Structure 1
Amino acid sequence: MATINEIVEARETAGQEYATAVAALKDAYIALWAYDIAINNRNLPTPANVDRRSFGASPSQSFPNPLLHPVFATAGLVSWENDVKPMAAQIINSYAG
């Protein structure tokens, strides 16, 4: 049996792990979305055999919201467009073709 202090400490640990995982998911999500934008950019000669499918029209509004947690993940999950646009532009501009 656990004491209430042990339960609170375990929750804190789980919450910190969750916050770290959400941050990692956000980074990976933004990177993938940016690369999706890049391969769908008409200025890049993406080969015809590349599957260009991506997230929905506004992925940051449809997917991350269930990840919100009132203590451990309270912000930064709703709108990632501002993060993805500069990264996509950097990827597109890095094309050496």
Structure 2
Amino acid sequence: MTDKSSLATLFADTLALSVAANAVIAVRLTKMALGAVDPKHESSLMVSEKIDAAAEATFAAARAVAMGQAHHAAGRAVAVYKRKVDRNLRRLTGG
């Protein structure tokens, strides 16, 4: 993969992540406003999920660097966040 295509892939993945993350935020806030989920529990879950995701993404990026694949570090971190955001969207939408 060339540097240009790697950068394009990273950009596309990051864009997809941002769209999915905004969808999760919208669904969460709507459900909280409508009383479909317990706001205290959901808020606590949001914080703990962010801490866990940050730790896992940092570890994935560090592992890439340690393996001599620093050029994959950002993509590996984005992949962690994308997986977690997608899981949240499925949980919140029942899909």
Does TM, normalized by the shorter one, top 0.5?
Answer: no
TM-score bracket, shorter-length normalisation: 0.3 to 0.5
**TM-score, structure 2 normalization:** 0.44
| Greater helix proportion | 2
Which of structures 1 and 2 has the bigger CA Rg? Answer: 1
**TM-score, structure 1 normalization:** 0.43
